Amino acid sequence: MRGRHRESETLDRLLHDVRSGRSGVLVVRGEAGVGKTALLQHLVRQASGCRVTSAVGVESEMELPFAGLHQLCGSMLDRLDQLPGPQRDALGVAFGLTAGDAPDRFLVGLAVVTLLSAVSEDRPLVCVVDDAQWLDRASAQTLGFVARRVLAESVALVFGVREGPETHELEGLPELMVEGLRDDDVRALLARVVHGRLDERVADRIVAETGGNPLALLELTRGLTPAELAGGFGLPDAPALSARIEASFLRRLEQLPAETQRLLLVAAAEPVGEPGLVWAAGERLGIGVEAAAPAAASGLCEFGTRVRFRHPLVRSAVYRAASLEDRQSVHRALAAATDPDVDPDRHAWHCAHGASGPEESVAEELERSAGRAHARGGLAAAAAFLERAARLTLDPTRRADRALAAAKAKHDAGAPDAALALLATAQTGPLDELQRARVDLLRAQIAFVVGPGSDAAPLLLKAAKELEPLDVGLARETYLDAFSAAMFVGRVSGSADLLEVAQAARATPPSPKPPRAPDLLLDGLAVLITEGYPAGTPMLRRALVAFRGEDLSKEEGVRWLWLACNTAAMLWDDETWDVLSARHVRLARDAGALSVLPMALSSRIAVHLQAGQLDEAAALIEEVQAIAAATGAHVAPYGTLPLAACQGREAEAAELIKATLKDVRARGDDMGLTVTQWASAVLYNGLGRYDDALAAAQQATEHAQGSTPSLVELIEAATRSGMAADADDALRRLLDTTRSSGTDWALGIEARSRALLSHGQVAEDLYREAIDRLGRSRATVCRARAHLIYGEWLRRERRRLDAREQLRTAHEMFTAMGLEAFAQRAARELLATGETARKRTVETSGQLTAQEAHIARLAGGGLSNPEIGSQLFISPRTVEYHLHKVFGKLDINSRNQLRGALSSDPALAQAA
């Protein structure tokens, strides 16, 4: 450990924290050979009193799903029965222990969080993962998720990662950069390994060329004679350091007997390190047990209860140095030694690498492995099996079919470039019409994922039209995808708009009888866009009823409820929006659908914002951000920005608006642009900056399918800015939606908007109608704003006492909800009537973070720690940790007191 005092101290502090009941996460990063493995071994040696479990990423095993995770958690599976049912099932399927639907990574990740937390209750747990850059993607994603979710557990997660290869799953975690040793430490180490006098100029060159890399120094000097070292003749210029280290290992390999070299090749091709398999394959190749002794004596590999190479570069050097023919023969021997019933996937993998040409039987076996991998949620592995199967297929038709299946799997696994390459392969073969349409569909889906500003909408529209005569059901689903794409990208990219999609959808053959909820939704949207709200609203109401029904499958709910929620909001159906958004979040959480859950939460956040439940919205925003951090996915600020606008904190919101506008324009995100402009209008109306609010609202409503909520902001801003004509035009457009809807929310908004443009008794009647109707809806913020503008109107009518009553009500409501700008606007109006608004005392809720408030409400509602953990993707112990802090802040000491503490706090009580 020469020269590693700083690094050792960091690891020792991490162990101290874990022994004290605090989690620790560290990514030890550095170039090959710099000493990462030595530091991890130091950590293990120092971890007395802790349970240690480890895994090593293996390059040749990167396509096998959850292989690394199984290494790490395999010894803990006796605790599997202690997990909650959905988590137990997800992890069992992922590890191939049970059959079932493919588990989502979030549910697997939560299961691992719970498992590690449970194991650490006995004694602190130290998890060490070396060569994490070579973990299979499923394991890397899961461990990245886990690393971000452990908090109050006595668990340490330490990863060794080689500098260079991308490891997005571990980005943002605490890092320890391991750099080369200082020159004096290098010289001291050099003096220990080189016997005799060393020419100073040669020593200088070794120090400079190895860059303080200890393994490079040890290996590069090992194979050189004293004469070579004395004159420096053995140190020619070389490329990358890792290649030079591999070359030094190869020099030692070449000195071993041929039989030993072949045994090492078997060990390099068998990634698990299972000695039984290695010896069984070696026996088939005629290799005797005596071949192991020279390998052990050379220090390159040890054969014991596990087969372990001295360094991962030894494994790669051995494998790369072998001829293709030798590698194939070794894989064939390993395939023969692997029981196809016990481990069919590795058997298929070795068969594939052992094949010297097309082999249909192996391709079929790979297809079956792909099916098993897909069932375990190993999409990347399924894609790899299918891609290899396509290569081994001689028949061009079957090769194209397998390449198309591989492309779909690559897309699902989040590898768009690889998917497009496989699509090109598929297109070289003979494809029937349905296959060609599926190629176009997949290309369109990839385009939509790559970037909202792409040509996704027109491509999806084209694919839907091609599918109509071939598969009507798939065509109709594709039209719904096209609707979603057009909503996201419409006016920004200039691509296919909603009208074009709707006209094409109306021309498609009718749905099967009885129609499913997605069919009703498609037909209703198509009519609404082409004929308007009066024609489309009744059809969409039928669709929403179907989505609320018991016949809706989980799959349909997860896939289409976002669009159904958006439709409910369009129809001013606040009750259905509330029901469907809650259902969507529940289904997405139950399924652990990481690609869908952020959008489901965003819709739910909007529901809470309309109801004035800002704490609840903030808690869900934290969850969205945690998901983004865990997955590395980009999540548009559909919740963050509206919350900031509603709160009315000008500096914070203005900065967020500026950054968001730049981002959504760069990505071509039309929906993000509309949300940003609407949020800007809300912010500026709250601040009383009506000209700015008018400009933002006009931008949000400038196209035919403009933001309806922005019309409401436009009417208020225009009337306050003296732009009556603009307000009249916006009201005309608004009435088309509200009168077709007929809900209290819609008619209350209509009455409030008409009142702004009316006078005398007509205006007063409309204000009172607005307050009455909005009081019967969930739109609490809208009702508070109706009280505000009614009070402002009364003050201008010189009815001060009446005005005070309305303004006081508005101020109290805004203050309780946390709408600071609107509360200040009401306070200013109250002051103009001669009354000073009472300052609200700081409530206990202000002491709780959004996460703590959320957990407090769930616990107060009777949920157990495991149930809360499952909902929020944290461990039960982390829930307990947060509750302990909540108890201290609320000055209580038990869960039984939570409900009383919450009910005594108006802000928390309202959200609860």
pLDDT digits (tens, 9 = 90+) for 2-59: 788 899 999 999 999 999 888 999 999 998 888 899 999 999 999 999 999 999 887 7
Instruction: Grade residue 845 by pLDDT with cuts at 50, 70 and 90.
Output: very low
C-alpha dist (Å) from residue 592 to 107, 108, 111, 586, 872: 5, 8, 11, 10, 11
C-alpha dist (Å) from residue 76 to 52, 65, 308, 903: 11, 18, 22, 43
3-state SS, 568-630, equals: HHHCCCHHHHHHHHHHHHHHHHHHCCCCCHHHHHHHHHHHHHHCCCHHHHHHHHHHHHHHHHH
Tokens of 677: 């402009």
Quick count: other Cβ atoms within 10 Å of Cβ 433? 11
3-state SS, 353-371, equals: HHCCCCCHHHHHHHHHHHH
Mean pLDDT throughout 69-76?
90
Which string of DSSP letters, residue by residue, matches 544-562? HHHHHSTT--HHHHHHHHH
**Residue the block writes with tokens 């569909």:** 441
C-alpha dist (Å) from residue 134 to 60, 546, 606: 8, 47, 41
Instruction: Grade residue 624 by pLDDT with cuts at 50, 70 and 90.
Output: confident
Mean pLDDT throughout 861-866?
83
Long-range pairs for 438-447: beta carbons < 8 A, 24 or more residues apart:
438/404, 439/404, 440/466, 441/466, 441/467, 441/474, 441/478, 442/404, 442/407, 442/408, 442/411, 444/478, 444/481, 445/411, 445/481, 446/411, 446/416, 446/419, 446/420
Mean pLDDT throughout 386-396?
91
Judge whether 459 and 444 are in contact, CB under 8 Å: yes
| 246/236 Cα distance (integer angstroms) | 15
Burial 458-471 (b: 16+ CB within 10 A, else e): bbbbbbbbbbbeeb
The whole-number pLDDT of residue 762 equals 96
> Identity (one letter) of the amino acid at 303?
F
Q: At what angle do helices 396-412 and 379-391 cross, to 10 degrees?
A: 160
**Residue the block writes with tokens 């019409």:** 433
Highest mean pLDDT among 186-190, 480-484, 661-665, 723-727: 723-727
Residue 162 pLDDT > 80: yes
**Residue the block writes with tokens 């108890």:** 887
The whole-number pLDDT of residue 232 equals 43
Closest by CA to 721, choosing from 750, 749, 688, is 688
- 599-613, 735-749, 836-850: segment of lowest average pLDDT: 836-850
Q: In this structure, what DSSP letter does residue 896 have?
A: G
Instruction: Grade residue 612 by pLDDT with cuts at 50, 70 and 90.
Output: very high
Strand partners, 30: 162
Mean pLDDT throughout 122-140?
91
Residue 238 pLDDT > 50: no
Burial 661-672 (b: 16+ CB within 10 A, else e): bebbeebbbbbb
The whole-number pLDDT of residue 236 equals 43
The whole-number pLDDT of residue 853 equals 79
Q: At what angle do helices 850-860 and 865-872 cross, to 10 degrees?
A: 140
Closest by CA to 751, choosing from 774, 729, 728, is 774
The whole-number pLDDT of residue 591 equals 64
Q: Which residue has the higher pLDDT, 536 or 879?
A: 536
| 282/262 Cα distance (integer angstroms) | 8
Residue 666 pLDDT > 80: no
Residue 776 pLDDT > 70: yes
Tokens of 500: 């074009």
The whole-number pLDDT of residue 891 equals 82
The whole-number pLDDT of residue 867 equals 80
Local structure of 259: helix, strand or coil: helix
Q: Which residue has the higher pLDDT, 739 or 664?
A: 739
Q: Which residue has the higher pLDDT, 636 or 551?
A: 551
Q: Which residue has the higher pLDDT, 590 or 897?
A: 897
Instruction: Grade residue 884 by pLDDT with cuts at 50, 70 and 90.
Output: confident
Residue 199 pLDDT > 70: no
Residue 128 phi, psi (nearest 5) = -115, 125
Residue 842 pLDDT > 50: no
Mean pLDDT throughout 106-127?
90
Judge whether 677 and 710 are in contact, CB under 8 Å: yes
Long-range pairs for 445-450: beta carbons < 8 A, 24 or more residues apart:
445/411, 445/481, 446/411, 446/416, 446/419, 446/420, 448/481, 448/485, 448/488, 449/411, 449/416, 450/416
Judge whether 190 and 155 are in contact, CB under 8 Å: no
Instruction: Find the helix or strand (DSSP H, E) in which 644 lies.
Output: helix 640-647
> Identity (one letter) of the amino acid at 405?
A
Q: In this structure, what DSSP letter does residue 52 have?
A: E
**Residue the block writes with tokens 């990662």:** 161
Q: Which residue has the higher pLDDT, 770 or 269?
A: 770
Residue 804 pLDDT > 50: yes
For a pLDDT cut of 90, what percent of the chain falls above it? Answer: 42
Q: Sign (positive/negative) of CA torsion 857, 860, 861, 865?
A: positive
Q: Which residue has the higher pLDDT, 234 or 630?
A: 630
Q: Which residue has the higher pLDDT, 617 or 311?
A: 617
Residue 632 pLDDT > 60: no
Tokens of 783: 């009702």
Local structure of 26: helix, strand or coil: strand
Instruction: Grade residue 663 by pLDDT with cuts at 50, 70 and 90.
Output: confident
Q: Which residue has the higher pLDDT, 494 or 555?
A: 555
The whole-number pLDDT of residue 488 equals 73
Question: Could you report the per-residue pLDDT of 313-343, keeping only the tens digit for each?
Answer: 787 788 888 999 999 999 999 999 999 988 8
- 516-530, 652-666, 782-796: segment of lowest average pLDDT: 652-666
Question: Could you report the per-residue pLDDT of 365-384, keeping only the tens digit for each?
Answer: 999 988 887 776 666 678 88
The whole-number pLDDT of residue 894 equals 81
For a pLDDT cut of 70, what percent of the chain falls above it? Answer: 88
- 162-166, 251-255, 260-264, 661-665: segment of lowest average pLDDT: 162-166
| 423/390 Cα distance (integer angstroms) | 12
C-alpha dist (Å) from residue 516 to 481, 547, 556, 581: 16, 9, 9, 19
The whole-number pLDDT of residue 839 equals 63
Mean pLDDT throughout 197-201?
65
Residue 777 pLDDT > 90: yes
Burial tier of 6 (Cβ tally within 10 Å: 0-12, 13-18, 19+): exposed
Mean pLDDT throughout 808-812?
94
Q: Which residue has the higher pLDDT, 462 or 873?
A: 462
Judge whether 119 and 51 are in contact, CB under 8 Å: yes
Strand partners, 303: 307
Residue 491 pLDDT > 50: no
- 37-46, 47-56, 76-85, 253-262: segment of lowest average pLDDT: 76-85
Strand partners, 309: 301
Tokens of 184: 């004096």
Residue 901 phi, psi (nearest 5) = -65, -40
**Residue the block writes with tokens 């225009």:** 718
Judge whether 434 and 399 are in contact, CB under 8 Å: no
Judge whether 603 and 565 are in contact, CB under 8 Å: yes
Question: Could you report the per-residue pLDDT of 714-761, keeping only the tens digit for each?
Answer: 999 999 999 999 999 999 999 999 999 999 999 999 999 999 999 999
| 65/62 Cα distance (integer angstroms) | 8
CA distance from start to end of the chain: 55
Would you call the peptide bond into 514 cis, given omega within 30 degrees of 0 as the criterion? Answer: yes
Average pLDDT over the chain, rounded to an integer: 85
Put the strands of the sheet holding 51-56 in their side by side order.
51-56, 125-130, 155-162, 24-30, 175-177
| 644/624 Cα distance (integer angstroms) | 15
